[in-house]
Structure formats: structure tokens, C-alpha cells
Amino acid sequence: MAVLETRSEITPAVSNQYPNYVIGVLFMLTMLNFLDRQIITILAEPVKQDLGLSDTQIGLMTGLSFAIFYTTLAIPVAALADKWNRSRIIAISIAIWSAMTVFCGLAANFTQLFLARVGVGIGEAGSGPASHSLIADLFPPERRAGALGILGMSIPIGAFIAYAGGGWIVERFDWRIAFFMAGLPGIIIALVVWFTVRDPRGNIPLAQAFKRDPSKISLKEALRTLSAKPAYWHLVAAGILVQFVAYGIASFYGSLFVRVHNMGYGELGWKLGIMVGLSGALGAWLGGKAGDRFGSLRATLPLVLTSLVMLVSVPGMILALYAPSGNLAMLLLAIPTFAATFYYGPNFSAIQRLASDETRAMAVAIYLLLAGIIGLGIGPVFVGMLSDMFSSDLSDSAALQRALAWLALFNIWAGFHFWRAARRLQD
């Protein structure tokens, strides 16, 4: 009896410790996720010089190559994560994207680098849905938001390490070494997940996981339901445009400061990391707070406020592009960076309000698919093509400044759609 009492006393402690252990592991892998995703930004200029790439190719390498499968695989992998062993999905995903990050460092030409980045996107498509699903099972509702909040903190940390660490390494060693050092730790984390993280569902046969669940709404049915809600499509359009601008400028951060301000990669890395981390985190936090506070007064107010933030970001971004010093440019770039994350809370909150219980998950998935393909995939390519086009009459630095200035105007378009979504919510 004494033994049984001792075990019953120990079991709650173990059960509390294990979810905390899992969230720690997921924190590390999500941090590596964004490190491997973003490090290409700080390395773009030395890669371009070494491999003789154009700005269009830089845009393809940083945006479209990653987005092709990252966005299109998100929905089927999320569906698989609802049925199969999520620990296995996460471990396989991180092993793929980490190995492909290492292969980026081995690339000898544009085609090899493009294909390696495609592989990074394939791997990263699987970790997010499975991680969120696993947290939902391991943590009770009263602890779930806090667990997801901890996971969310890993994103700016990963971006900071990508910029600061990547800049330091490329300045002292080589861009290839930066890719190696970014990718190799993920192989270790993949093994840790495979052998130490258990899925509460147990071992489910893969063949069983692929059987269709008739109780789940199909993509076609969800589209039919959502097509009758114009406000939803205004929110989708606004989100696409915000990401179009955000990923477009992020892909050329390094090139902008190196070409225009002759900033060293080490200095650029830590300054860019601090700017993106602080302004991005502040934007997301204030956007969520504003959404809760003003949304309780009137559902349309957060969207109207987001529309105004988008408009203010345009002159801020243009002033940053033509600032006389690199430090002032970095400070002013905090304005569009703030706007790029401020929209997140109000936008997703409104989408959840519009969607029914049956279409809520699919409404978010459809949005992420379209925003990823167009925003992440085409935004950087758009900037690169414009820069190459303007370079026939301007220097490389002036051509890139003009291309990014044109990009800034798309936030006016995004603001329009937020405003229209607010108007349609009133209908």
C-alpha cells in the first residue's frame, strides 16, 4: 500500500513535468524553424556576389522556392497530424528542413540553391500544425494559451539569431559556414523528438491515418460556405498584401543596408535582429491587446485601427529607404515591421468571428495557403524583378530603393481591404 501511495504521489509531478519538457523541445525546434527560414535574408547579398545571381533570382530563392511546398503541403500535413503520430511528423519534418539547410551551403549554382530551399519549405510545412495539435493534447485549456505563448516567443528569438548570428558568421568566415551551422543542430533535435517525445495517442498505423473522415468538412464545401461572406475575402486580401510587403522587404534587408549604407554584416546582423525582434513582438502584442479592447466595444473598430496603421506604415517605409544614415533607416524600418505584425490579432479574430464551427479551421487554412503563395512566394520575386528592371537606368542601390518604395504602396491597398472588411461586418 505504501508503494502504491508513493507512486500516486509521484505520478502528478511526472505528468506535470513531461508537458513542460515537451514545450521546451518544441520551443527549440520552432526557434530553429525560423532561424533556418530567415537566415537566407542576411546571406542574400554575399550569395548573390559569389554565385553571380540577379535580384530576380534572389527573390525566387528567398520567397517562391520556399513557398511552393510550404504553403501547399500545410493543409494535407495538418490533416495527417489530426490522425497520425505527431512526434514522428515533427521529427521527420525537422530532419528534412535541417538537412536541406545544410545542402544550401553546398550549392554551387542557382538551381541547386533553389531546390535546397524548396526542401526547406517541404520540411517546415509539417512542424507547425503537428506542434500545435500536440500542445492541445498535453495541456489543459487553462494552461494552453500560456504554452502557445511560450512557443510564440521562439519566433523572434529565431529571427534574431538568424540575423545576428548569420551576419557575424558571414563576416568572419563564409556564407556556406552560416548555412552549415544553422542546419546541423536541427538533426540533433530531430533525434531528441523521435526518441523522447511521446504522442498521447500512441502508435497509429499510417495506413489508418490516410482513411478519409466523413465527419470532416471538405475544402470544396468550406469554399462554398465562405464565398457568401465578402468580409472574409476582404480579410484574406488584406492579409495577402501585408505579407506581400513584409516578405518582399525582408528578403532584401541585407542587400539594402550593404548597398546603400555600406554596413558590415556583423553590425547589420545584430541591429536588424534587435529591430525586427522588438518591433515585431511589440506590434503583435499591441495588435492583440487593441483587438480585445476595441473589439469589446465594437467588432469593426480593430479593423479600422489596423487600416490606419497600414496607411501610416507607408511614409515610414519610404522615409526609411531614403534615410541619410543606416541607423536612422533601421529605426524607421521599425514602423512597417510593427505594422506587419499588428494586423495579426485583429485579422484572425475577425476571421474566427465570420467562420462557423464547421469552417473555422479550414477558413484559416485557406487564408494561410493564399497568403503564403502570393505574399511569401511572389512578394520577394516582385521586388527582385522591379530592381533588375530599374537597374538599367540606376545604380544597384538606387534601383533597389525604388523597387522597395513601390512595394510600400501595397500597404495602402491592404488598408483599403481592412476598411472594407469592417464595413461588410456591419452589413
**249 DSSP assignment:** H
The separation between CA 244 and the C-alpha centre of its own chain, rounded to angstroms, equals 12
**CA–CA distance, 394 with 216 (Å, rounded to integer):** 55
Prediction pTM value: 0.75
**CA–CA distance, 34 with 326 (Å, rounded to integer):** 25
List, in sequence order, every beta strand (DSSP E) within 158-240.
none
pLDDT grade for 335, boundaries at 50, 70 and 90: very high
Each residue's pLDDT tens digit, 208-266: 555 666 666 666 776 777 777 888 899 999 999 998 998 899 888 888 998 999 988 88
Nearest to 310 by CA among 421, 423, 408: 408
Burial class (CB within 10 angstroms; exposed 0-12, middle 13-18, buried 19+) of 285: middle
User: Do residues 195 and 301 lie in contact, with contact meaning Cβ atoms separated by under 8 Å?
Assistant: no
Mean pLDDT of 385-400: 92
pLDDT grade for 192, boundaries at 50, 70 and 90: very high
pLDDT of residue 405: 96
Each residue's pLDDT tens digit, 72-89: 777 777 767 767 788 888
**198 DSSP assignment:** P
Pick the range with the lowest mean pLDDT from 17-31, 196-210, 312-326.
196-210
Cell of 101: 539547410
**CA–CA distance, 381 with 379 (Å, rounded to integer):** 5
Burial class (CB within 10 angstroms; exposed 0-12, middle 13-18, buried 19+) of 125: buried
Cell of 281: 513582438
pLDDT of residue 45: 85
User: Do residues 53 and 217 lie in contact, with contact meaning Cβ atoms separated by under 8 Å?
Assistant: no
Residue-level length of the chain? 427
pLDDT grade for 316, boundaries at 50, 70 and 90: very high
pLDDT of residue 166: 86
**CA–CA distance, 417 with 50 (Å, rounded to integer):** 41
The separation between CA 9 and the C-alpha centre of its own chain, rounded to angstroms, equals 42
The separation between CA 95 and the C-alpha centre of its own chain, rounded to angstroms, equals 19
